[in-house]
Amino acid sequence: MAELIKVDNVDPQPAFARCRQIVSRGGVVVYPTDTFYGLGVDPGNAAAVQRLFEIKGRALDQPILILLPDVLEVKRWAEEVSPEAEELMRKFWPGPLTLVFKAKKHVFPLLTAGKGTIGLRVPGNALTRQLLAFLGTGLTGTSANRTGGESARNVREASEALGSLVDLILDGGCAAGGKPSTVADVSGGRTRILREGAIVL
């Protein structure tokens, strides 16, 4: 079974440091986000991304989004950021809005499902942003469940679904749940809603 660590809100760094050890060596972690628990790997590690797909049982034509610690990280992954996208980021980030950008050439095709676009989000959960900043990298942000299963709101649900398949589960308490993030494509000339969710555009 996966290692389980309770995050101390007063001093989260020991838990974050263990997470960084695992992620840096290509491991898979479960961690809390502003909606549900997420399934995280280093998006710059091709082998880890491949393992994530296998664990989740995800079809290769389904892309994986990346959660970022702040808006400054967007240009690391996105080829271009339109004025419309900048306005959406200013208005709704941090928060449950995933924006789909044209991906930079270094982004693995598995993450983009071969479409050449990448979903990015700065989560509304301060603990998640602290973790991402400590790691110094984004993390994949797909929900911590097998494809078709219920999204996990707590570590019990995440453990039941994936405990034997992942390396570490960070217990950050109960996630907010509710609707998933809204997904909007800003890679073209206009904003297109791909999934209705927690934010109404």
Is 201 within a domain?
Answer: no
What pairing do the DSSP bridges indicate for beta strands 182-185 and 142-143? Answer: unpaired
**Percentage of the chain exceeding pLDDT 90:** 94
Number of Cβ within 10 Å of residue 120's Cβ equals 27
Which pLDDT tens digit goes with each residue over 68-118? 999 999 999 999 999 999 999 999 999 999 999 999 999 999 999 999 999
CATH of the domain at 156: 3.90.870.10
Is 200 within a domain?
Answer: no
Q: Model confidence at 157, in pLDDT bands (50, 70, 90)?
A: very high
In DSSP notation, 98-140 reads EEEEEBPTTS-HHHHTTSSEEEEE--S-HHHHHHHHHHTS-EE
The pLDDT of residue 137: 86
User: Number of folded domains in the chain?
Assistant: 1
Which pLDDT tens digit goes with each residue over 114-135? 999 999 999 999 999 999 999 9
Q: Model confidence at 177, in pLDDT bands (50, 70, 90)?
A: confident
Domain extent for 141: 3-195
DSSP state of 72: G
Number of Cβ within 10 Å of residue 76's Cβ equals 15
Contact predicate 53/42, CB 8 Å: no
pTM to 2 decimals?
Answer: 0.95
Structure tokens at 196: 């209705």
Contact predicate 134/37, CB 8 Å: no
The residue among 100, 48, 104 whose CA lies nearest residue 77 is: 104
Q: Model confidence at 59, in pLDDT bands (50, 70, 90)?
A: very high
Q: Model confidence at 39, in pLDDT bands (50, 70, 90)?
A: very high
The pLDDT of residue 128: 96
